[in-house]
């Protein structure tokens, strides 16, 4: 979870400093939660300029509303919900581009630490990893967000449900469908490769 990675161990003390106007404390929050926010933005929005604006808008909202945070949920979940709703409102306002349009491919890490791909060589493994990212980006934004929060941010069904404002059962259903769709796409792309199984 994001909280475990905080350089400033006492989140309550950190938030108290922010509420008192300590800008350096808020910079710590930005640094510690930027990865979470970027993951959500990049999975939901394709336009580079819009992403930059949304990043600033999200943390502006975090700063503006931080006094309302009451520790009824994890702080990462609270920020994630702000990021998701901000991106969702942006999508509704501007109308999304077709979900099959090619988008970013600049995530360096494999999103699935437990993915078992069985290529014969490292070249094939690298090719598969790149294709995984491409196919994730071609899924609809709900599937992309669920996969990202679950696998990259290691969030629970409950936390994802709070962020996306959907029941836990829906989170499980979306995650199942997203994995199924991603696996289908990968098998089609690599039908000529020796891939015995793809556990996603």
Q: What is the pLDDT of residues 37-84, one digit of tens each?
A: 999 999 999 888 899 999 999 999 999 999 899 888 899 999 999 999
Neighbours of 45 (CB within 10 A): 24
Q: Which of 47, 63, 94 is the last residue of a domain?
A: 94
Q: How far apart are the first and last CA of the chain?
A: 20
Q: The domain containing residue 58 runs over which residues?
A: 2-94
Q: Which of 31, 63, 94 is the last residue of a domain?
A: 94
CATH of the domain at 61: 1.10.1740.10
- What is the total count of domains within the chain? 2
pLDDT in tens, 168-189: 999 999 999 999 998 888 787 7
Same domain, 37 and 79: yes
């Amino acid at each position: 979870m994001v909280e475990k990675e905080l350089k400033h161990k006492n989140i309550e003390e950190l938030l108290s400093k922010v509420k008192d106007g300590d800008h350096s404390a808020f910079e710590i929050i930005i640094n510690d939660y930027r990865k979470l926010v970027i993951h959500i933005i990049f999975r939901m929005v394709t336009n580079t300029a819009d992403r930059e604006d949304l990043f600033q808008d999200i943390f502006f909202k975090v700063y503006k509303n931080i006094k309302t945070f009451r520790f009824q949920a994890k702080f990462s979940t609270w920020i994630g919900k702000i990021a998701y709703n901000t991106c969702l409102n942006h999508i509704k306002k501007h109308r999304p581009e077709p979900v099959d349009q090619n988008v970013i491919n600049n995530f360096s890490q494999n999103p699935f630490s437990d993915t078992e791909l069985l290529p014969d060589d490292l070249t094939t493994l690298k090719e598969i990893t790149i294709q995984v990212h491409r196919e994730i980006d071609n899924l609809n934004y709900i599937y992309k967000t669920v996969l990202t929060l679950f696998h990259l941010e290691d969030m629970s069904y409950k936390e994802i449900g709070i962020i996306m404002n959907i029941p836990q059962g829906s989170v499980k259903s979306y995650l199942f469908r997203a994995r199924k769709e991603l696996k289908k796409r990968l098998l089609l792309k690599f039908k000529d490769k020796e891939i015995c199984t793809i556990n996603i």
